[in-house]
Amino acid sequence: MKEIMFYTRTQCPLCLKAKEALLIVQRDMQVSIKEIDIHSSDQLVERFGLMIPVVEYEGKVLQYGQIDPLKLQNQLK
């Protein structure tokens, strides 16, 4: 099963929309979602602070900001 890393933070309306998009992908494909709050690590804040939300797979950032579930499904195929 593919594992998607979903970098987020609290009080982020765009992150809530991104999570909805990820749930669509999860429903249609066999993927797991690991949600990580960037504030759990200074390195994550430095790396993703202005990009949140971020979807990463196998160490590669697939999308950030506005998450498109159809595009993401194609990227994961």
CA 46, 50, 52 angle in degrees (round to 5)? 100
Judged by DSSP in three states, 4 sits in strand
Domain 2-76 listed as CATH 1.20.1440.230:
no
Cα separation, 43 vs 7, whole angstroms: 12
pLDDT at 29: 94
- Predicted pLDDT of residue 55: 98
| pLDDT tens digits, one per residue of 9-68 | 999 999 999 999 999 999 999 899 999 999 999 999 999 999 999 999 999 999 999 999
Both structure tokens of 6: 């979903």
In three-state secondary structure terms, 23 is: helix
Separation of CA 65 from chain center:
9
Among the listed residues 38, 7, 36, 6, the one whose alpha carbon sits nearest the alpha carbon of residue 23: 6
> Residue ranges of the domains in the chain?
2-76
Looking at residue 12, its pLDDT comes to 95
